Amino acid sequence: MLNVVIFGAPGSGKGTQSDLIVKKYGLVHLSTGDLLRAEIEKGTKTGKLANELISKGSFVPDDVIIEILNKNIDLYPTAKGFIFDGFPRTVVQSEALDSMLKKRNIKVNVMLNIDVKTDELVKRLLIRGKTSGRSDDNLETIQKRIRIYEEKTLPVMQFYDRQGKHNRIKGDGTMDEVFAEICTAIDKTKA
């Protein structure tokens, strides 16, 4: 079983790289952002709460997101592994993920931290905003999301650093260059 945490600021390319990882390693992609957007589409109670928070650029409470993820892991009993995208975003979530996986006798094998400079993130998200239809891809919300990410990031990075699982990936290259670095980091854990 190979479980990957893909980590990086909004606009760092987590979604794109996750798709490539899924294709090459056959993992199940669990993106908490996508799961929340699906709840919004369905108009559930969680979706209504998420809608408000996401459009403000704020985080959804830890307990809500942990419950969603827990339920979704159970939907794939035969998975070869998971790629967790956009989760964990806080230390509480990192600890919850560890215990969720421990209960199932599995663990996070590798954490990939896609590092992109702030100016480049803003540029990419503004371009994405022209076509994504996402309520949070506008300048004010983008800046807030990056600020919140920076505030919460360091402790999550340190959490995986202490476990020897943190890999910094240079995220400003081409899609193929970034993916090559990702594959090296993943393959190292399997060696």
Residues noted as catalytic = 14, 89, 128, 134, 145
Q: Which residue of this chain has its Cβ atom nearest to ligand AMP in the complex?
A: 33
Q: Which residues pair with 5 in a beta bridge?
A: 84, 111
Q: Are 6 and 18 in contact (CB under 8 A)?
A: yes
* Positions in the binding site for ligand AMP (CB under 6 A): 10, 32-33, 36, 53-54, 57-60, 65, 86-87, 89, 93, 136, 145
Nearer CB in complex with ligand AMP: 71/188: 71
Within 10 A of 178 (CB to CB), how many other CB atoms are there? 22
Which of 144, 146, 140, 111 lies closest to 11, judged by CA?
146
Nearer CB in complex with ligand AMP: 41/187: 41
Question: What's the rounded Cα separation, in Å, for the pair 128 and 116?
Answer: 16
What is the nearest approach in angstroms of ligand AMP to the Cβ of residue 171? 15
Nearer CB in complex with ligand AMP: 90/167: 90
What is the nearest approach in angstroms of ligand AMP to the Cβ of residue 65? 4
Q: Nearest 5°: CA angle at 183, between 180 and 189?
A: 150
What is the nearest approach in angstroms of ligand AMP to the Cβ of residue 190? 26
